[in-house]
Structure 1
Amino acid sequence: MPNTPTELTALLTVMQLSDSALPTGSFSHSFGMETYQQRGLVDSADSYTAWATGYLHQMAYTEGLATRLAHEAAVANDHQRVVRIDQLLYASAIPQQIRDAGTSMGQRMNTIVDVAIEETPALRCYRDAIDAGDAQGHPGVVFALAAVAANVPGDQAVAAYLMQLGTSLTQNAIRSIPLGQNAGQRVLSQLRRVVPDVVDVVFDLDEHDLGASAPGLEIAQMMHETQRARMFMS
Protein backbone atom coordinates (compact mmCIF):
# COMPACT_ATOMS: atom_id res chain seq x y z
CA MET A 1 0.00 0.00 0.00
CA PRO A 2 1.18 3.57 -0.64
CA ASN A 3 2.62 5.48 2.29
CA THR A 4 0.31 7.87 4.11
CA PRO A 5 0.92 11.64 3.79
CA THR A 6 2.31 11.61 7.34
CA GLU A 7 4.76 8.82 6.50
CA LEU A 8 5.85 10.59 3.34
CA THR A 9 6.39 13.84 5.24
CA ALA A 10 8.51 11.98 7.80
CA LEU A 11 10.58 10.42 5.01
CA LEU A 12 11.10 13.75 3.29
CA THR A 13 12.10 15.38 6.59
CA VAL A 14 14.76 12.74 7.21
CA MET A 15 15.99 13.10 3.63
CA GLN A 16 16.33 16.86 4.08
CA LEU A 17 18.16 16.71 7.41
CA SER A 18 20.49 13.88 6.35
CA ASP A 19 21.42 15.38 3.00
CA SER A 20 25.18 15.67 2.62
CA ALA A 21 24.69 19.21 1.31
CA LEU A 22 23.08 20.35 4.58
CA PRO A 23 25.18 23.37 5.65
CA THR A 24 26.30 22.12 9.06
CA GLY A 25 30.00 22.45 8.31
CA SER A 26 30.63 18.70 8.03
CA PHE A 27 32.71 19.32 4.89
CA SER A 28 35.37 20.87 7.17
CA HIS A 29 35.90 17.79 9.34
CA SER A 30 37.52 14.39 8.83
CA PHE A 31 37.13 13.24 12.48
CA GLY A 32 40.61 11.73 12.49
CA MET A 33 40.61 10.30 8.97
CA GLU A 34 43.18 12.85 7.80
CA THR A 35 45.70 11.54 10.35
CA TYR A 36 45.34 8.05 8.87
CA GLN A 37 45.81 9.54 5.41
CA GLN A 38 49.01 11.26 6.50
CA ARG A 39 50.30 7.91 7.77
CA GLY A 40 49.53 6.28 4.42
CA LEU A 41 46.95 3.96 5.99
CA VAL A 42 43.93 5.41 4.14
CA ASP A 43 44.90 5.95 0.53
CA SER A 44 42.42 4.04 -1.63
CA ALA A 45 38.75 3.09 -1.89
CA ASP A 46 39.40 -0.23 -0.13
CA SER A 47 41.41 1.20 2.75
CA TYR A 48 38.93 4.04 3.19
CA THR A 49 36.00 1.59 3.23
CA ALA A 50 37.72 -0.42 5.97
CA TRP A 51 38.38 2.74 7.98
CA ALA A 52 34.85 4.11 7.53
CA THR A 53 33.33 0.76 8.51
CA GLY A 54 35.31 0.81 11.75
CA TYR A 55 34.39 4.44 12.33
CA LEU A 56 30.66 3.75 11.97
CA HIS A 57 30.89 0.81 14.38
CA GLN A 58 32.61 3.15 16.87
CA MET A 59 29.75 5.62 16.43
CA ALA A 60 27.37 3.00 17.82
CA TYR A 61 28.74 3.88 21.26
CA THR A 62 28.75 7.64 20.85
CA GLU A 63 26.65 9.59 18.36
CA GLY A 64 24.48 6.65 17.30
CA LEU A 65 23.58 5.77 20.89
CA ALA A 66 23.09 9.44 21.80
CA THR A 67 20.67 9.84 18.88
CA ARG A 68 18.65 6.86 20.07
CA LEU A 69 18.62 7.96 23.72
CA ALA A 70 17.68 11.55 22.86
CA HIS A 71 14.88 10.26 20.62
CA GLU A 72 13.52 8.13 23.47
CA ALA A 73 13.79 11.01 25.93
CA ALA A 74 11.93 13.36 23.60
CA VAL A 75 9.14 10.83 23.08
CA ALA A 76 8.84 10.58 26.88
CA ASN A 77 8.96 14.40 27.26
CA ASP A 78 11.98 13.95 29.52
CA HIS A 79 13.74 17.21 28.72
CA GLN A 80 16.26 16.88 31.57
CA ARG A 81 17.41 13.56 30.12
CA VAL A 82 17.94 15.19 26.72
CA VAL A 83 20.26 17.71 28.37
CA ARG A 84 22.04 14.93 30.26
CA ILE A 85 22.67 13.02 27.02
CA ASP A 86 24.12 16.19 25.52
CA GLN A 87 26.40 16.68 28.54
CA LEU A 88 27.58 13.05 28.54
CA LEU A 89 28.30 13.13 24.82
CA TYR A 90 30.32 16.33 25.16
CA ALA A 91 32.24 15.11 28.19
CA SER A 92 33.09 11.77 26.58
CA ALA A 93 34.73 13.41 23.55
CA ILE A 94 38.34 13.61 24.76
CA PRO A 95 40.01 15.25 21.70
CA GLN A 96 39.43 19.01 21.78
CA GLN A 97 38.85 19.18 18.03
CA ILE A 98 36.06 16.60 18.28
CA ARG A 99 34.35 18.46 21.12
CA ASP A 100 34.58 21.71 19.18
CA ALA A 101 33.33 20.06 15.97
CA GLY A 102 30.31 18.58 17.76
CA THR A 103 29.38 21.92 19.31
CA SER A 104 29.88 23.89 16.11
CA MET A 105 27.92 21.46 13.94
CA GLY A 106 25.26 20.97 16.62
CA GLN A 107 24.54 24.64 16.97
CA ARG A 108 24.43 25.00 13.20
CA MET A 109 22.05 22.03 12.96
CA ASN A 110 19.95 23.65 15.69
CA THR A 111 19.64 26.81 13.59
CA ILE A 112 18.69 24.80 10.48
CA VAL A 113 16.06 22.79 12.34
CA ASP A 114 14.63 26.02 13.78
CA VAL A 115 13.96 27.08 10.20
CA ALA A 116 12.96 23.72 8.74
CA ILE A 117 10.88 22.06 11.49
CA GLU A 118 7.86 23.31 13.39
CA GLU A 119 8.95 23.89 16.99
CA THR A 120 8.03 21.31 19.62
CA PRO A 121 8.46 21.49 23.42
CA ALA A 122 11.51 19.19 23.16
CA LEU A 123 13.21 21.37 20.56
CA ARG A 124 12.38 24.55 22.47
CA CYS A 125 13.67 23.18 25.78
CA TYR A 126 16.91 21.99 24.18
CA ARG A 127 17.38 25.33 22.45
CA ASP A 128 16.81 27.12 25.77
CA ALA A 129 19.35 24.83 27.46
CA ILE A 130 21.95 25.68 24.81
CA ASP A 131 21.26 29.40 25.19
CA ALA A 132 21.57 29.09 28.98
CA GLY A 133 24.85 27.20 28.71
CA ASP A 134 23.40 24.04 30.26
CA ALA A 135 23.87 22.11 27.00
CA GLN A 136 26.55 22.40 24.33
CA GLY A 137 24.49 21.45 21.29
CA HIS A 138 25.21 18.35 19.21
CA PRO A 139 23.92 17.40 15.73
CA GLY A 140 22.91 13.90 16.85
CA VAL A 141 20.72 15.23 19.63
CA VAL A 142 19.14 17.91 17.44
CA PHE A 143 18.57 15.34 14.70
CA ALA A 144 16.82 13.03 17.16
CA LEU A 145 14.50 15.76 18.43
CA ALA A 146 13.67 16.81 14.87
CA ALA A 147 12.94 13.17 14.01
CA VAL A 148 10.47 12.94 16.90
CA ALA A 149 8.83 16.16 15.72
CA ALA A 150 8.40 14.60 12.26
CA ASN A 151 7.12 11.26 13.67
CA VAL A 152 10.17 9.35 12.47
CA PRO A 153 10.71 6.09 14.42
CA GLY A 154 13.86 5.77 16.50
CA ASP A 155 15.54 3.04 14.44
CA GLN A 156 15.01 5.00 11.23
CA ALA A 157 16.36 8.16 12.83
CA VAL A 158 19.52 6.38 13.99
CA ALA A 159 20.01 4.72 10.60
CA ALA A 160 19.56 8.01 8.75
CA TYR A 161 21.97 9.82 11.05
CA LEU A 162 24.65 7.14 10.70
CA MET A 163 24.27 7.04 6.93
CA GLN A 164 24.61 10.82 6.86
CA LEU A 165 27.89 10.50 8.79
CA GLY A 166 29.14 7.97 6.27
CA THR A 167 28.08 10.11 3.33
CA SER A 168 29.75 13.26 4.68
CA LEU A 169 33.00 11.42 5.40
CA THR A 170 32.95 9.83 1.96
CA GLN A 171 32.52 13.20 0.28
CA ASN A 172 35.56 14.40 2.22
CA ALA A 173 37.49 11.28 1.24
CA ILE A 174 36.65 11.91 -2.42
CA ARG A 175 38.35 15.30 -2.10
CA SER A 176 41.29 14.34 0.07
CA ILE A 177 42.51 10.86 -0.97
CA PRO A 178 41.29 11.55 -3.70
CA LEU A 179 38.63 9.09 -4.86
CA GLY A 180 36.61 9.27 -8.04
CA GLN A 181 32.89 9.96 -7.76
CA ASN A 182 32.05 6.45 -8.98
CA ALA A 183 34.40 4.93 -6.40
CA GLY A 184 32.71 7.07 -3.78
CA GLN A 185 29.31 5.68 -4.72
CA ARG A 186 30.62 2.11 -4.55
CA VAL A 187 31.94 2.85 -1.06
CA LEU A 188 28.57 4.26 0.01
CA SER A 189 26.85 1.12 -1.29
CA GLN A 190 29.10 -0.92 1.02
CA LEU A 191 28.52 1.41 3.97
CA ARG A 192 24.78 1.15 3.40
CA ARG A 193 25.11 -2.54 4.24
CA VAL A 194 27.09 -1.72 7.39
CA VAL A 195 24.61 0.74 8.89
CA PRO A 196 21.85 -1.81 9.77
CA ASP A 197 24.38 -3.85 11.73
CA VAL A 198 25.47 -0.75 13.63
CA VAL A 199 21.83 0.14 14.36
CA ASP A 200 21.36 -3.33 15.85
CA VAL A 201 24.32 -2.69 18.16
CA VAL A 202 22.92 0.71 19.15
CA PHE A 203 19.66 -0.84 20.30
CA ASP A 204 21.48 -3.44 22.40
CA LEU A 205 23.24 -0.74 24.45
CA ASP A 206 22.13 1.46 27.33
CA GLU A 207 23.14 4.85 28.71
CA HIS A 208 26.09 3.37 30.62
CA ASP A 209 27.70 2.45 27.28
CA LEU A 210 27.65 6.04 26.03
CA GLY A 211 31.15 7.30 25.39
CA ALA A 212 32.99 3.98 25.04
CA SER A 213 35.72 4.67 22.51
CA ALA A 214 38.48 3.16 20.40
CA PRO A 215 41.83 4.48 21.72
CA GLY A 216 43.49 4.34 18.31
CA LEU A 217 40.85 6.62 16.81
CA GLU A 218 41.05 9.06 19.72
CA ILE A 219 44.83 9.22 19.46
CA ALA A 220 44.59 9.91 15.73
CA GLN A 221 42.06 12.65 16.42
CA MET A 222 44.35 14.25 19.02
CA MET A 223 47.40 13.99 16.76
CA HIS A 224 45.52 15.90 14.07
CA GLU A 225 45.84 19.06 16.16
CA THR A 226 49.60 19.17 15.57
CA GLN A 227 49.80 17.95 11.98
CA ARG A 228 52.06 20.14 9.89
CA ALA A 229 49.52 20.51 7.06
CA ARG A 230 45.78 19.96 7.21
CA MET A 231 42.79 20.16 4.89
CA PHE A 232 40.26 19.70 7.67
CA MET A 233 39.52 21.27 11.04
CA SER A 234 39.41 17.87 12.75
Structure 2
Amino acid sequence: MYMNIDEIEQELGVMQLSDSFFPTGIFATSNGLEYLFSQNKIHGMTDLAEMVKINIIQQIGPTDCIALADIFENSNEGNFDRIIQADNTLFATKSIKEIRDASVRSGIQLVKCVAEFVKDDKMLKQYQDSILEKKANGIFPVAFAICCNAMKIKKEKSMMMMLYGFSVAVVGAALRLGLIQHFEGQKIIHKIKPVIAQTIKENSNKSLSEMWQFAPQMDVIQMSHEKMDSKMFIT
Protein backbone atom coordinates (compact mmCIF):
# COMPACT_ATOMS: atom_id res chain seq x y z
CA MET A 1 0.00 0.00 0.00
CA TYR A 2 1.50 3.29 -1.15
CA MET A 3 1.48 6.56 0.82
CA ASN A 4 -0.45 9.40 -0.77
CA ILE A 5 1.14 12.78 -1.54
CA ASP A 6 -0.03 14.37 1.74
CA GLU A 7 1.47 11.52 3.78
CA ILE A 8 4.76 11.76 1.89
CA GLU A 9 4.91 15.52 2.48
CA GLN A 10 4.20 14.99 6.19
CA GLU A 11 7.03 12.46 6.45
CA LEU A 12 9.37 14.87 4.66
CA GLY A 13 8.36 17.51 7.20
CA VAL A 14 9.28 15.12 10.01
CA MET A 15 12.68 14.55 8.42
CA GLN A 16 13.22 18.29 7.90
CA LEU A 17 12.47 19.34 11.49
CA SER A 18 14.34 16.33 12.94
CA ASP A 19 17.50 17.02 10.96
CA SER A 20 20.43 18.47 12.92
CA PHE A 21 20.92 20.71 9.86
CA PHE A 22 17.75 22.61 10.89
CA PRO A 23 18.93 25.87 12.53
CA THR A 24 17.55 25.84 16.09
CA GLY A 25 20.84 25.79 18.02
CA ILE A 26 20.00 22.62 19.95
CA PHE A 27 23.32 21.11 18.83
CA ALA A 28 25.00 23.63 21.18
CA THR A 29 23.34 22.23 24.31
CA SER A 30 24.48 19.44 26.65
CA ASN A 31 21.81 19.76 29.38
CA GLY A 32 24.43 19.76 32.13
CA LEU A 33 26.47 16.88 30.70
CA GLU A 34 29.50 19.12 30.19
CA TYR A 35 29.62 19.93 33.91
CA LEU A 36 29.39 16.25 34.89
CA PHE A 37 32.16 15.44 32.43
CA SER A 38 34.39 18.26 33.73
CA GLN A 39 33.98 16.96 37.29
CA ASN A 40 34.61 13.33 36.24
CA LYS A 41 31.15 12.38 37.57
CA ILE A 42 29.91 10.53 34.50
CA HIS A 43 31.63 7.49 33.01
CA GLY A 44 30.67 5.99 29.68
CA MET A 45 27.62 4.62 27.99
CA THR A 46 25.64 3.29 30.97
CA ASP A 47 25.78 6.55 32.94
CA LEU A 48 24.90 8.60 29.87
CA ALA A 49 21.88 6.42 29.03
CA GLU A 50 20.65 6.80 32.62
CA MET A 51 21.01 10.59 32.43
CA VAL A 52 18.96 10.77 29.23
CA LYS A 53 16.33 8.47 30.74
CA ILE A 54 15.97 10.57 33.90
CA ASN A 55 15.58 13.76 31.88
CA ILE A 56 12.87 12.24 29.69
CA ILE A 57 10.88 10.58 32.49
CA GLN A 58 11.26 13.20 35.22
CA GLN A 59 11.47 16.47 33.29
CA ILE A 60 10.68 16.54 29.57
CA GLY A 61 7.85 14.00 29.52
CA PRO A 62 5.64 15.44 32.26
CA THR A 63 6.24 19.08 31.25
CA ASP A 64 7.26 19.61 27.62
CA CYS A 65 5.24 16.69 26.22
CA ILE A 66 2.08 17.70 28.09
CA ALA A 67 2.46 21.30 26.91
CA LEU A 68 2.98 20.11 23.34
CA ALA A 69 -0.16 17.96 23.47
CA ASP A 70 -2.14 20.87 24.91
CA ILE A 71 -0.99 23.14 22.07
CA PHE A 72 -2.18 20.65 19.45
CA GLU A 73 -5.61 20.44 21.05
CA ASN A 74 -6.03 24.21 21.32
CA SER A 75 -4.58 24.90 17.86
CA ASN A 76 -7.17 22.62 16.32
CA GLU A 77 -9.90 24.39 18.32
CA GLY A 78 -8.57 27.84 17.44
CA ASN A 79 -8.13 28.73 21.13
CA PHE A 80 -5.14 31.07 21.01
CA ASP A 81 -5.56 32.36 24.58
CA ARG A 82 -4.92 28.83 25.84
CA ILE A 83 -1.77 28.65 23.72
CA ILE A 84 -0.46 31.80 25.40
CA GLN A 85 -1.36 30.27 28.77
CA ALA A 86 0.60 27.11 27.93
CA ASP A 87 3.56 29.21 26.81
CA ASN A 88 3.61 31.18 30.07
CA THR A 89 3.03 28.10 32.24
CA LEU A 90 5.84 26.11 30.64
CA PHE A 91 8.16 29.13 30.81
CA ALA A 92 7.50 29.30 34.56
CA THR A 93 8.41 25.60 35.04
CA LYS A 94 11.92 26.16 33.64
CA SER A 95 13.52 27.16 36.93
CA ILE A 96 17.13 27.09 35.66
CA LYS A 97 17.85 30.36 33.85
CA GLU A 98 20.37 28.85 31.41
CA ILE A 99 17.94 26.09 30.37
CA ARG A 100 15.02 28.53 30.13
CA ASP A 101 16.96 31.06 28.03
CA ALA A 102 18.29 28.37 25.68
CA SER A 103 14.77 26.97 25.21
CA VAL A 104 13.41 30.43 24.35
CA ARG A 105 16.23 31.15 21.90
CA SER A 106 15.70 27.83 20.13
CA GLY A 107 11.92 28.28 20.06
CA ILE A 108 12.08 31.78 18.57
CA GLN A 109 14.62 30.66 15.98
CA LEU A 110 12.41 27.68 15.06
CA VAL A 111 9.32 29.87 14.56
CA LYS A 112 11.31 32.42 12.58
CA CYS A 113 12.67 29.74 10.25
CA VAL A 114 9.39 27.83 9.69
CA ALA A 115 7.52 31.10 9.07
CA GLU A 116 9.86 31.69 6.13
CA PHE A 117 8.37 28.78 4.19
CA VAL A 118 4.95 28.17 5.80
CA LYS A 119 2.96 31.28 4.94
CA ASP A 120 -0.64 30.10 5.24
CA ASP A 121 -0.98 29.01 8.88
CA LYS A 122 -2.94 31.41 11.08
CA MET A 123 -1.72 30.06 14.43
CA LEU A 124 1.94 30.21 13.40
CA LYS A 125 1.56 33.83 12.27
CA GLN A 126 -0.35 34.76 15.43
CA TYR A 127 2.23 33.10 17.67
CA GLN A 128 5.13 34.79 15.89
CA ASP A 129 3.41 38.17 16.23
CA SER A 130 2.79 37.50 19.94
CA ILE A 131 6.51 36.80 20.44
CA LEU A 132 7.42 40.07 18.71
CA GLU A 133 4.86 41.91 20.84
CA LYS A 134 6.25 40.28 24.03
CA LYS A 135 2.93 38.56 24.73
CA ALA A 136 4.49 35.09 24.32
CA ASN A 137 7.92 33.81 25.33
CA GLY A 138 8.57 31.46 22.42
CA ILE A 139 9.54 28.55 24.68
CA PHE A 140 10.75 25.67 22.51
CA PRO A 141 8.15 22.89 23.15
CA VAL A 142 5.30 25.33 22.45
CA ALA A 143 7.04 26.71 19.37
CA PHE A 144 7.75 23.15 18.21
CA ALA A 145 4.10 22.17 18.58
CA ILE A 146 2.94 25.25 16.67
CA CYS A 147 5.41 24.57 13.86
CA CYS A 148 4.66 20.84 13.65
CA ASN A 149 0.93 21.54 13.50
CA ALA A 150 1.52 24.13 10.79
CA MET A 151 3.44 21.49 8.80
CA LYS A 152 0.59 18.96 9.28
CA ILE A 153 2.70 16.66 11.49
CA LYS A 154 0.58 14.71 13.97
CA LYS A 155 0.77 15.12 17.76
CA GLU A 156 2.34 11.77 18.71
CA LYS A 157 4.88 12.04 15.90
CA SER A 158 5.77 15.55 17.09
CA MET A 159 6.33 14.29 20.64
CA MET A 160 8.50 11.50 19.28
CA MET A 161 10.58 14.01 17.31
CA MET A 162 11.07 16.25 20.33
CA LEU A 163 12.16 13.43 22.65
CA TYR A 164 14.37 11.86 19.99
CA GLY A 165 15.90 15.26 19.24
CA PHE A 166 16.76 15.76 22.91
CA SER A 167 18.34 12.30 23.11
CA VAL A 168 20.43 12.85 20.00
CA ALA A 169 21.56 16.28 21.25
CA VAL A 170 22.88 14.83 24.52
CA VAL A 171 24.51 11.86 22.78
CA GLY A 172 26.07 14.26 20.26
CA ALA A 173 27.44 16.38 23.10
CA ALA A 174 28.93 13.24 24.68
CA LEU A 175 30.64 12.37 21.40
CA ARG A 176 32.18 15.84 21.11
CA LEU A 177 33.36 15.68 24.71
CA GLY A 178 35.01 12.31 24.01
CA LEU A 179 32.90 10.53 26.62
CA ILE A 180 31.67 7.81 24.23
CA GLN A 181 32.33 6.46 20.73
CA HIS A 182 29.94 6.57 17.76
CA PHE A 183 28.79 2.95 18.04
CA GLU A 184 28.08 3.46 21.73
CA GLY A 185 26.02 6.53 20.88
CA GLN A 186 23.82 4.46 18.57
CA LYS A 187 23.41 1.81 21.27
CA ILE A 188 22.17 4.47 23.69
CA ILE A 189 19.68 5.86 21.16
CA HIS A 190 18.39 2.34 20.50
CA LYS A 191 18.17 1.59 24.22
CA ILE A 192 16.16 4.74 24.91
CA LYS A 193 13.45 4.00 22.28
CA PRO A 194 11.12 2.12 24.71
CA VAL A 195 11.46 5.00 27.20
CA ILE A 196 10.42 7.49 24.52
CA ALA A 197 7.47 5.31 23.48
CA GLN A 198 6.26 4.87 27.07
CA THR A 199 6.64 8.60 27.80
CA ILE A 200 4.51 9.48 24.78
CA LYS A 201 1.85 6.98 25.83
CA GLU A 202 1.72 8.37 29.38
CA ASN A 203 1.64 12.07 28.52
CA SER A 204 -0.10 12.51 25.17
CA ASN A 205 -3.60 12.98 26.60
CA LYS A 206 -2.98 14.89 29.82
CA SER A 207 -4.11 18.45 30.52
CA LEU A 208 -1.90 21.43 31.31
CA SER A 209 -2.93 21.24 34.98
CA GLU A 210 -1.24 17.80 35.22
CA MET A 211 2.23 19.13 34.40
CA TRP A 212 4.99 18.32 36.90
CA GLN A 213 8.71 17.69 37.11
CA PHE A 214 10.99 16.36 39.82
CA ALA A 215 14.68 15.86 39.18
CA PRO A 216 16.48 17.96 41.84
CA GLN A 217 19.86 16.39 41.11
CA MET A 218 19.59 17.44 37.46
CA ASP A 219 18.57 20.95 38.57
CA VAL A 220 21.75 21.24 40.63
CA ILE A 221 23.86 19.93 37.74
CA GLN A 222 22.30 22.44 35.32
CA MET A 223 22.84 25.33 37.75
CA SER A 224 26.45 24.25 38.25
CA HIS A 225 27.02 24.27 34.49
CA GLU A 226 25.75 27.84 34.35
CA LYS A 227 28.55 28.90 36.75
CA MET A 228 31.41 27.24 34.86
CA ASP A 229 34.13 29.72 33.86
CA SER A 230 34.84 28.06 30.54
CA LYS A 231 32.42 25.89 28.55
CA MET A 232 31.85 24.46 25.10
CA PHE A 233 28.04 24.22 25.34
CA ILE A 234 25.29 26.73 26.17
CA THR A 235 23.72 24.35 28.71
Output aligned runs, 1:1-234, within 5 Å.
1-57=1-57, 58-203=59-204, 205-234=206-235
Letter in 2 for 1:136: N
CA distance in 2, matches of 1:127, 1:155: 23
Moved more, 88-97 or 37-46: 37-46
Structure 2's unaligned 5+ residue stretches are: none
Letter in 2 for 1:94: S
Go from structure 1 to structure 2 and tell me whether the alpha carbon gap of 1:33 and 1:201 turns closer, same or farther (over 3 Å shift).
farther
Structure 1's unaligned 5+ residue stretches are: none
What's the TM-score once normalised by structure 2's chain length? Answer: 0.93
Q: In angstroms, what is the RMSD of aligned CA positions?
A: 1.6
Moved more, 93-102 or 55-64: 55-64
Q: CA deviation at 1:101?
A: 0.4
What's the TM-score once normalised by structure 1's chain length? Answer: 0.93
Q: CA deviation at 1:113?
A: 0.9
Describe the superposition over 1:30-53 as per-residue Cα deviations: whole angstroms up to 9, x where unpaired.
122223223433221111111111
Q: 4+ residue stretches of structure 1 with deviation over 3 A? A: none
Q: CA deviation at 1:211?
A: 4.5
Q: CA deviation at 1:181?
A: 1.6
CA distance in 1, matches of 2:222, 2:96: 6
Describe the superposition over 1:137-156 as per-residue Cα deviations: whole angstroms up to 9, x where unpaired.
12221221222223222111
Moved more, 210-219 or 132-141: 210-219
Moved more, 98-107 or 152-161: 152-161
Describe the superposition over 1:87-131 as per-residue Cα deviations: whole angstroms up to 9, x where unpaired.
111111111101110111111111111123343111011011101
8 Å contact 2:69–2:205 — kept in the other structure?
no
Q: How many residues align?
A: 234
Moved more, 109-118 or 121-130: 109-118
Moved more, 221-230 or 65-74: 221-230
Between the aligned residues of both structures, percent identity stands at 24
Go from structure 1 to structure 2 and tell me whether the alpha carbon gap of 1:40 and 1:204 turns closer, same or farther (over 3 Å shift).
farther
CA distance in 2, matches of 1:7, 1:139: 25
CA distance in 2, matches of 1:37, 1:192: 24
Q: CA deviation at 1:204?
A: 5.0
CA distance in 2, matches of 1:93, 1:34: 19
Describe the superposition over 1:142-199 as per-residue Cα deviations: whole angstroms up to 9, x where unpaired.
2212222232221111111111111122111111143222221121111223210110
CA distance in 2, matches of 1:61, 1:73: 18
CA distance in 2, matches of 1:102, 1:119: 25
CA distance in 1, matches of 2:21, 2:45: 22
